[in-house]
Structure 1
Amino acid sequence: MSTSESKKSFDYIIVGTGPAGAVIAKTLTDDKKTSVLVIEAGQNNDNDLPIKDSRYAPELEEKFFPQYFWQGEGVPQEALDERSFEWTTGRLSGGGSSINGEQYVRPTPAVLKEWERLLGPMWSPHEAIETFKMLEDFHGDTNGPEYHGVKGRLNIRQTPDSPPKVSKKFVKAMEQATGFKRILDYNDPRTPLGPFTRWQLFQKKNGHRESSSTAFFSQDIMTSDGFGVNGRQLRVLYESTALRILFEGNTAVGVEVLMEGKMERVFARKKVIISAGINSTQLLMVSGIGPAEELGKVGIPVIFDNPNVGRFLTNHTLNTAVFSMNQKDISELSKHPFSLYTGGAFLPHPLDENQGQRRGVQLIGFVSEGKFIIAILYLQPKSRGTIQLQSKDPLKIVLADEGFLDNNEDLESVKAIYKTYIKKIAIKLAKVDPSYSLVEPSIETICNDDKLEEFIKENFGHNHHQQSALRMAPLNQGGVVDHFARVYGVNNLLVADASIIPFTVDGNTSAASYLIGYTIAQQLSR
């Protein structure tokens, strides 16, 4: 290795500053001996108003502030009348955690038991709870303080302290409609199901966003331009795009990076860790890991033939129900400007009575343009999508087919949510306050199977809950990485982000990504 190359060598190289990447970088450099280089395509925008001020959070993706996002679109969806949706995530320090809706939702024990059965005790519900306790600085009320941490770096704010009338009315209607009593803390593993008035958010006590960047790359960790402080051997390269992984034989030794219009090479003495979210799959494939036939078609030399790469892409479905509302209730929301949402619920699958404590549905209440809206997430989709390359050019967008509603059971499940939950909630909410009337879809539409199906497809929205394209599982069970996040078929290469989630999480994906990052970081630090 030349002198110039040795100066660009580090113990670890991490691609991406999202929840997993930032946690791993901070944890590995805590000993002040281990050197870590982090590659981030975006800038540090922590102090930009739309990023810092949580009131922008519900609008960031909807209004699509382009300076903070990767630009892209997925392929037309056959089951949704050839509609296409954005294929994007945060391109800035903190990745998706800097532009998401801030909802802090842990995977429940029901899901984590599946992880444990597949992957071993390292991913058990008990270990996950202990990890979350180490990560959290929880500010809120709970009946289970033993399940929360108060000394971690992640500020979690349960808000509002005093729920407004709209939240109380919504929750009362849900209690009456579903038979589930109001719960205080949905992240208490004993109360995963039920309606609630207060969301838990990635948020500081002053209402500012908490992201992986603000929590793990703060001033006591590094300077705003990416240099570790107080002897910490950490360097974050901003505005630098990872192009491909460098190999010697089948051993990962570094990363090829585009910096200021020039291609550079940086080297890792120990391991390369990919934490690039939805971009991790492309980075693996352009580096020679994936289906050999597909790689060969675009002229990429195969390092390891793995047909599982990009094959189990999953995303939760998203639909809405729109209500008129009591306009007098709106002014009260100004007292809680950082609360963002007006109650919600986690409920079981409406078509399966044998689910126990398993979540199947997530409901999110919010107010927009004088109307009350329920966002509806179906959490157990059976449809699977794919990610494929168009060429060997690492800067050309992939063909991302999310496969929404390809499995007809998903459509039947979403229809059942409207028929079983939304219809009954609408009836009860109108009795609580007649000002709240279901506008879209109408009760008539819900009761007409064909009309409801048409409405669901036209109303279908896009979640940024992409997961499982690089499953953590045995190779013969669809795996791309093993239970330690090590990529099969090569040495010294790991993937740690939501793309390795083995079984679909039953809520938002950020918390699961922090769990993955910290669990892998602890293993590497031993």
Structure 2
Amino acid sequence: MEKKSTYDYIVVGTGPAGAVIAKTLTDDMRTSVLVLESGGNHDRDKPIKDSTFALELEESFFPNYFWQGEGVPQEELDERAFEWTTGRLSGGGSSINGEQYVRPTSAVLRKWERLLGPLWSPDKAIRRFKALENYNGETTDINAHGYRGRINIRQAPETPTPMAHKLTTAIERATGYPTILDYNDPNTPMGPFTRWQLYQQPDGRRESSSTAFLSRDIMTATGRGVNNRKLTVKFRTTVLRILFSGKRAIGVEYLKDGKCCYAYSRKKVIISAGINSPQLLMLSGIGPAKMLKKAGIPVIFDNPNVGQRLKNHTLNFAVFATNSQDRPLPPLDPNALYTGGAFLPDPSGIDPDERAVQLVGIGSDEELTIAILYLRPKSNGTIRIQSKDPLNIVLADEGFLSNPDDMEAVKRIYRTYIKDIAIELEQIDSSYRLVSPTFDIIDDDDRLEEFIKENFDHNHHQQGFLRMAPLSEGGVVNRKGKVHGVQDLIVADASLVPYTVDGNTSSAAYLIGYTIAKQLSKRKKKQRSHPESGEE
């Protein structure tokens, strides 16, 4: 092996987990890390850094910054197909998402802890979030946030608009949940609010894993670590498969400038490729043996759990006419993006202390749209490879509404929350009227179901398809991200989520990456016979 192509660690991907791991592992200025990113660094491109583009990026810039792909037609949605994609650029999904910072609640993390042990307890997760974030906003508990981390979080807008206040008041009256100031405070996880917490720098520009952890104080524009940091980031470099010696991961094969290249690791290979992580495992011989053999791939470890248990939150909408005098955002803060919102339990009354519904206000000069996410779907999907060709897109079946309970849950949200919010909004201001769906559609079960299918949309909250759990419980990796059945291979991204998060997924990816990075750093210290320090 050539010395120049060998590193202590190889990290695949610069999304929330990969970038955190790369920076954390090289903080000692002794550990060498190679990071391979399939896209380029576009942090300074206006559509990426300017937050006002966030809600139109996929529609307007799909060829520029995204993986090109489509999932399989969805049987329960009249065979409609949706994009199967994420960001193909430095920062991965964090560079193209809607910028909402939503931590998993303690209710979800307690489930993680019961399955995986104290490493994933709510208390430890909160400590790690505080270490990661630099919170710029108000809160009911200053101890709920961190103020010295690298991820800038901006609560916005500073002065919410009348439209946001009217929506929040209507939700409060309709649901009985009082307005909250800080939904990421573990003590106030549910209720309506006028201000979202966004991945933004204080001036409103996007904060991604790239701007936070691969910034100019960490590496040069060409991907070299600064101040003797042993970090190398190679952009426009597509990893094809993991290399093994027996059952030990020793490196990767990748495509760069039309040539096949190889890089080798002394310690571990870490896969943080998001929705592309299962394909890499399967192409490398880890997955369902029958599928791998059919594709002509030598089996390294037979694990039927790879690519299973794919979860995604449902996404639907309700549209209201508004008062022409009401603006959705303050004129001086278009980066605030959203016009209020709420986290609520299932309207059925089941598990009243757990989040099940996310409402997002998206205003315009003439309309107020409420995006409706059901956060506890029972439907599962799958990710399968078609062949051993790494450039052949996977068959991603998200299985939307394949469990009929999910359709019933979404119908309950319309019948209870949306209908009651509409009534209260109109009482607050008669200009506000529900225009889609209309009340007669909500009251007609068959028409409402048809509306939900036609109105259904797709988000980027894919999770759980490389579950962090014991092998016997559907696991692909253990509690520290180590891939079952092989050595020196780790996965760290939102694909590990063992129980569906009750909000946007990017914070969970940061948490997973940082937790695994700290575990690896502790191991390095032990190997050097230094005293153990820091959090578990």
Q: TM-score normalised by the shorter chain: which range applies?
A: over 0.9
CA positional deviation for 1:64? 4.0
Residue among 205, 220, 237 paired with 2:234: 237
Question: Which residue does 2:532 correspond to in 1?
Answer: none
The more displaced of 58-67 and 225-234 is 58-67
Q: Does 1:131 align with 2:128?
A: yes
Aligned-partner Cα distance in 2 for 1:152–1:478: 34
Task: Kindly provide the CA deviation profile for residues 285-321 of structure 1, in whole angstroms up to 9, marking residues without a partner as x.
Answer: 0000000000111111100000000011000000000
Contact 2:329 2:339 in 1 (8 A): no
Q: Does 1:373 align with 2:355?
A: no
Q: SS of the residue aligned with 1:387? A: strand
How far is the alpha carbon of 1:413 from its aligned partner?
A: 0.1
Tell me the residue number matched to 1:388: 384
- Using the alignment, how far apart are the partners of 1:325 and 1:393 within structure 2? 52
Distance 1:301 1:368 in 2: 54
| Rounded Cα–Cα distance in structure 2 between residues aligned with 1:55 and 1:262 | 38
Q: Does 1:200 align with 2:197?
A: yes
Determine the C-alpha separation between the residues in 2 that align with 1:59 and 1:358.
Answer: 31
Q: Distance in 2 between matches of 1:310 and 1:272?
A: 19
Q: Which residue of 2 aligns with 1:57?
A: 54
Separation in structure 2 between the aligned mates of residue 369 and residue 445 of structure 1, nearest angstrom: 25
1:8 paired with 2:34, answer no
Tell me the CA shift for residue 356 of structure 1.
3.8
- Matched with 1:445 is 441
Secondary structure of 1:505 counterpart: coil
Q: Which of 491, 498, 501 is the aligned partner of 1:495? A: 491
Corresponding residue number in structure 2 for 1:160:
157
Q: Which letter maps to 1:139? A: N
Q: Distance in 2 between matches of 1:182 and 1:432?
A: 16
Q: Name the structure 2 match of 1:250.
A: 247
- Map 1:136-285 onto structure 2 (within 5 A): 136-285=133-282
The correspondence for 1:90, drawn from 83, 87, 90, is 87
| Preserved contact between residue 141 and residue 158 of structure 1 (Cα < 8 Å) | yes
Partners of 2:346 and 2:352 within 8 A in 1: no
Q: Which amino acid in structure 1 is aligned with residue 83 of structure 2?
A: E
Find the counterpart in structure 2 of residue 523 from structure 1: 519
Task: Choose which of 427, 432, 446 in structure 1 pairs with 2:428.
Answer: 432
Equivalent in the alignment of 2:473: 477
Q: Give 1:331 shift.
A: 7.4
Q: How far apart are 1:29 and its partner, in Å?
A: 0.1
Whether contact under 8 Å (2:328, 2:364) holds in the other structure is: no
CA contact (8 A) 2:160 2:329 kept: no
| Pair 1:121–1:435, CA change in 2 (3 A) | same
Tell me, what secondary structure is at the counterpart of 1:115?
A: helix
Root-mean-square deviation (Å):
0.8
Q: Deviations over 1:151-202 (max 9, x none)?
A: 0000000011111010000000000000000000000000000000000000
Aligned match of 2:324: 327
Q: 488, 503, 526: which is aligned to 1:507? A: 503
Residues 92-133 of structure 1 show CA distances to partners (whole Å, capped at 9, x for unaligned) of: 000000000000000000000000000000000000000000
Amino acid paired to 1:210 = E
Q: 2 CA distance for matches of 1:451 and 1:24?
A: 49
* Per-residue Cα deviation, 1:380-425 (whole angstroms, up to 9, x for no partner): 0000000011110011100000000000000000000000100000
Q: Secondary structure at 2:413's aligned position in 1?
A: helix
Flag structure 2 segments of 5+ consecutive residues without an equivalent: 523-536
Paired AA for residue 91 in structure 1: R
**Are positions 1:411 and 2:407 aligned together?**
yes
Residue 28 and residue 90 in structure 1: after superposition, are their counterparts in 2 closer, same or farther (change >3 A)?
same
Farther off after superposition, 50-59 or 324-333: 324-333
Give 2:324's aligned amino acid: Q
Distance 1:232-1:190 versus aligned 2 partners, 3 A rule: same
Please point out which of 263, 284, 288 is paired with 1:287: 284
2:39 corresponds, among 39, 42, 47, to 42
SS at match of 2:334: coil
Q: Secondary structure at the match of 1:299?
A: coil
After alignment, is 53-62 or 33-42 more displaced?
53-62
Correspondence for 2:357 among 344, 361, 364: 361
Aligned pair 1:302/2:299, yes or no?
yes
Instruction: Normalising by structure 2, report the TM-score.
Output: 0.97
What's the offset of the Cα at 1:368?
Answer: 3.6
Q: Distance in 2 between matches of 1:235 and 1:372?
A: 46
Unaligned 5+ runs, structure 1: none
Q: Look up the equivalent residue of 2:132 and give its one-letter code.
A: L
Opposite residue 411 of structure 1, the aligned amino acid is: M
Q: Any conservation in 1 of the 2:289–2:303 contact (CA below 8 Å)? A: yes
1:66 equivalent in structure 2 = 63
Asked if 1:79 is matched to 2:85, the reply is no
CA distance in 2, matches of 1:126, 1:256: 39
- C-alpha contact 1:192 1:357 (8 A) present in aligned 2: no
Say how many residue pairs are matched: 522
Contact 1:44-1:225 at 8 Å conserved across structures: no
